Amino acid sequence: MADRPGTAPGSTVPETLAAVPAGRPLSRKVVALGGGHGLFASLSALRRVTRQLTAVVTVADDGGSSGRLRRQYGVLPPGDLRMALAALCGDDAWGTTWSRVVQHRFTGETELGGHAVGNVLIVALWELLGDTVQGLDWVGRLLGAHGRVLPMASVPLDLAAEVEGADPGRPDEISTVRGQVACATMRGRVRSMSLIPADPPACPEAVAAVGAADWVVLGPGSWFTSVLPHLLVPGLAEALVTTKARRLVALNLAPQPGETEGFSPHAHLEVLADHAPELTVDVVLADRAAASGTVAELEKAAAVLGGRLVLADLAMGDGSPRHDPRLLAGAFAQIFEGE
Amino acid sequence: MADRPGTAPGSTVPETLAAVPAGRPLSRKVVALGGGHGLFASLSALRRVTRQLTAVVTVADDGGSSGRLRRQYGVLPPGDLRMALAALCGDDAWGTTWSRVVQHRFTGETELGGHAVGNVLIVALWELLGDTVQGLDWVGRLLGAHGRVLPMASVPLDLAAEVEGADPGRPDEISTVRGQVACATMRGRVRSMSLIPADPPACPEAVAAVGAADWVVLGPGSWFTSVLPHLLVPGLAEALVTTKARRLVALNLAPQPGETEGFSPHAHLEVLADHAPELTVDVVLADRAAASGTVAELEKAAAVLGGRLVLADLAMGDGSPRHDPRLLAGAFAQIFEGE
């Protein structure tokens, strides 16, 4: 039987920091913004290079277990928050077991079928404590999480996309698509995104974390449905613009079918600038292979945002369009070190 | 924010033991058998008088959240196991918070409505780990539980009662009532109980705990549906008969409507003897007021089982038929001490 962590002081130094050479400042305050698998990737990397990590997570999901819980209980969709917490779980038997538990999804056509255990647990904590952030902090403690997970807004949001050619028969027509699932799976080309409600209250703790950060990291992730929404929450966008932190944008390894199909890497940056005209960026991090052939345009787009382009090998060796957490951590460490 | 327990060594000495005068042997191995609120009461008391506590819990519930999960997932009904774990939760903010979480019940006509969070968590751990006892041990660790909780059998069971006068129009007719909910709410007088299947495998860890115990405690609790079933699991009954442990039967404060209505305290012991002819008992513990007027019969019934009667004031001061954990703990301590 594994003990709860903390019973043997000194045993909890996270293995995840082993990749960081001694002497590097692990006390840099880093805030990672995103959602879903993209944020899971950035957190899996960032936990290796800092002990002061905060995740700020999109709350616009309306599909699956999160969508059901959101509709039935009027709460924030818990799924992306849960996944971020799992990405930060402790390295010992305690952290990894509870991480597996919260990520476990019931199967079958039952009442619980499709629900992730952590989603149920988060909603229960919210009901019980009556406080979103406190509830997430308790799940973080359960997991022995190497960092804190916060929602980007205090209320559940809906996404709305202005789309060109959603109907293949009318390629020039602009239409509005509402809902994260619909936005992530639609045909056509997204022109712009907005939130419903348009002026949601930012999570105060998230605003404070951005304000106090040394670095903020946007992306990787579903560009329109996980990355851009942060810039559409007025209070959070203002914090991102005014913070003294340095700003890093981590690009995806490949366009995402249904969302950014046909988007070049630099088009991602242009979309970002369109949605947050006042935002400047210090570093744009891109995978060398993904950027191949468009480096000049990418450098130019980074410069328009006020930043420089950093290229590195970031992909998993298996050819899949996923970030290798070690390579991504190495790139983050080098960038943070160099500034 | 409260830290996880164990981070400050020395801070986890349970308050619950404060009632025990220094020098008393807290290392007595005690096994408490029962289910539901009765077992919750005995555990709430026993956790104050020993550090070596094991609960062995009935697994025949077919109602509510437990019944739904049992039918949908083919697992043991988790509810009584969850309640026993909650009774043993740590005294600090960690233990009490997670205890409230696992006991929290979703309301409303939703998919989760009626489910206790701990039931969902236990079923998830069983799915994930594929091992009943390991899953319960993990919930015990989560709660910082002062003891271990085990099922009485390794498979879900159904109860069947032979009942006299279930139909008020035919008071002499004997009929069979099946299912714990039906047995606990029927009209008429129970003649005998049996299990379906009749020969379920006992939980090996429960058998071992009974074999290694210094004291085993049966009751209080729903007599036919939470206490007697333990004596109907052949392997567990054999362990209870052959263990070198002393045996204590703790009687209820009042007959239970629908189950033991009109049963005198000594009738409870007679029913016990009927269902476990080979079982001897060292001590029968009864509330002084509840036994009032039937002490002679109760002493005789205790003697038939081979034991002596101990009377004590055990009830809450508010007049409700519930055991006061402190008074019950005091009685247990005196009895254990005296032997």
- Residue A212 pLDDT > 70, yes or no? yes
- Do residue B97 and residue B213 come from a single domain? no
User: Could you write out the DSSP letters of every residue in B217-271?
Assistant: EE-SS-IIIIITHHHHSHHHHHHHHH-SSEEEEEPPSSPPTTTTTT--HHHHHHH
Contact B230, B206 (CB under 8 A): no
Closest chain A residue to the Cα of B5, Cα to Cα: A6
Q: Do B1 and A144 touch (CB under 8 A)?
A: no
Residue at which a domain ends, from A136, A167, A196: A196
**Angle at alpha carbon of residue B184, lines to B258 and B307, rounded to 5°:** 85
d(CA B211, CA B296): 32
Is B108 touching A (CB cutoff 8 A)?
Answer: yes
pLDDT band, residue A21 (cuts 50/70/90): low
- Using an 8 Å CB-CB cutoff, list chain A residues near B142: 98, 142
Q: Per 3-state DSSP, what percentage of chain B is helix, strand, and coil (rounded to 5)?
A: 40, 20, 40
| Domain end residue (candidates: A151, A169, A188) | A151
Distance CA B167, CA B179 (A): 17
- Higher per-residue pLDDT: A1 or A291: A291
Q: Look at residue B7 and tell me whether its pLDDT is greater than 60.
A: no
Residues A336, A220, single domain; the answer is yes
Assign A248 a pLDDT band (cuts: 50, 70, 90): very high
Any chain A CB within 8 A of the CB of B1?
Answer: yes
Parallel, antiparallel, or unpaired for β A308-312 and A283-287? parallel
Neighbour tally for B48: CB within 10 Å: 24
Q: Which residue of B has its CA nearest to A5?
A: B6
On the question of pLDDT at A108 being above 90, the answer is no
pLDDT surpassing 90 at residue B68: yes
| pLDDT over threshold 90, residue A227 | yes
* Residues A339 and A234 placed together within one structural domain of the fold: yes
pLDDT given at position B24: 58
Residues B9, B45, single domain; the answer is: yes
Instruction: Give A190→chain B minimum CA distance, Å.
Output: 35
* Domain match, B226 and B332 both: yes
- Mean pLDDT, rounded, for B222-226: 94
pLDDT value of position A8: 35
d(CA A16, CA A23): 15
**Taking 70 as the threshold, does the pLDDT of residue A230 lie above it?**
yes
Find the mean pLDDT for residues A301-306: 96
CB contact under 8 A, B120 and A125: no
Cα–Cα dist A339/A57, whole Å: 26
Lowest mean pLDDT among A20-29, A215-224, B202-211: A20-29
Residue of B nearest to A111 (CA): B111
Smallest CA-to-CA distance from A334 within A112, A21, A108, A34 is with A21
Rounded CA-CA distance A41/A253 in Å is 12
Is the CB of residue A142 less than 8 Å from the CB of residue A90?
A: no
Q: End of a domain among A133, A166, A196?
A: A196
* φ, ψ for residue A77, nearest 5 deg: -65, 120
Which is more confidently placed, B173 or A203? Answer: A203
Closest C-alpha among B139, B147, B207 to residue B26: B147
End-to-end Cα, chain A, rounded Å: 45
DSSP code of A76?
A: P
Query: Please, is B326 exposed, middle or buried when counting C-beta atoms within 10 Å of its C-beta (0-12, 13-18, 19+)?
Result: middle
Q: What is the pLDDT of residue B295?
A: 96
pLDDT of res. A284? 98
| Least-confidence region, from A47-61, A131-145, B124-138, B170-184 | B170-184
The residue type found at A284 is V
Q: Give dist(CA B147, CA A125) in Å, integer.
A: 25
Please answer yes or no on whether A4 and B6 come within 8 Å at the CB atom. Answer: yes
- Give the range of the structural domain holding residue A33, as residue numbers without chain letter: 1-59+202-339
Q: Report yes or no: B78 and B69 within 8 Å, Cβ to Cβ.
A: yes
Claim to verify: residue B55 and residue B75 sit in the same structural domain? no
Secondary structure (3-state) at B29: strand
Let me know whether A45 and A132 are in one domain: no
Whether B147 and B125 have beta carbons less than 8 Å apart is answered as no
Instruction: Report whether pLDDT(B156) > 90.
Output: yes
Q: Are B88 and B138 in contact (CB under 8 A)?
A: no
> For the residues B202-224, what does the mean pLDDT come to?
97
Contact (CB<8Å) A7/B6: yes
Is pLDDT at B6 greater than 60 in this prediction?
no
- Using pLDDT thresholds of 50, 70 and 90, give the confidence band for residue B3: very low
How confident is the model at residue A70, as a pLDDT? Answer: 96
In the numeric block, which tokens belong to residue A261? 């199909």
Domain count of the fold of chain B: 3
B72 interfaces chain A, CB cutoff of 8 Å: yes
Q: How confident is the model at residue A110 (pLDDT cuts 50, 70, 90)?
A: confident
Q: Are B189 and B223 in contact (CB under 8 A)?
A: no
Minimal Cα–Cα distance from A122 to chain B, Å?
Answer: 10
What is the model's pLDDT at position B67? 96
Hey, is the C-beta of B71 within 8 angstroms of any chain A C-beta?
no
Q: What is the pTM of this model?
A: 0.91
Q: Exposed/middle/buried for A199, CB within 10 Å: 0-12, 13-18, 19+?
A: exposed
Mean pLDDT score across all residues of chain B = 91
Does B309 lie in the same domain as B217? yes
Same domain, B128 and B177: no
Q: Quote the percentage of chain A above a pLDDT of 70.
A: 92
What are the Cα distances from residue B171, in Å, to B110, B174, B177? 41, 8, 15
Structure confidence at residue A309 (pLDDT): 97
Which residues have CB under 8 Å from B163's CB, separation 6+? B174, B175, B176, B177, B186, B188, B189, B190, B191
A1 pLDDT above the threshold of 80: no
Whether pLDDT at A58 is above 60: yes
pLDDT of residue B157: 97
Helix (H) or strand (E) holding B154: none
Shared-domain flag, residues A48 and A77:
no
Q: Are residues A175 and A225 in the same domain?
A: no
In this structure, the answer to whether residues A207 and A329 fall within a common structural domain is yes
Q: Chain A neighbours among B 114-173 (CB < 8 Å)?
A: 115, 117, 120-121, 123-125, 127-128, 137-138, 141-142, 144
Residues A259 and A255: their CA atoms lie apart, in Å, by 8
For residue A138, what pLDDT band results from cuts at 50, 70 and 90?
very high
The predicted complex's ipTM stands at 0.89
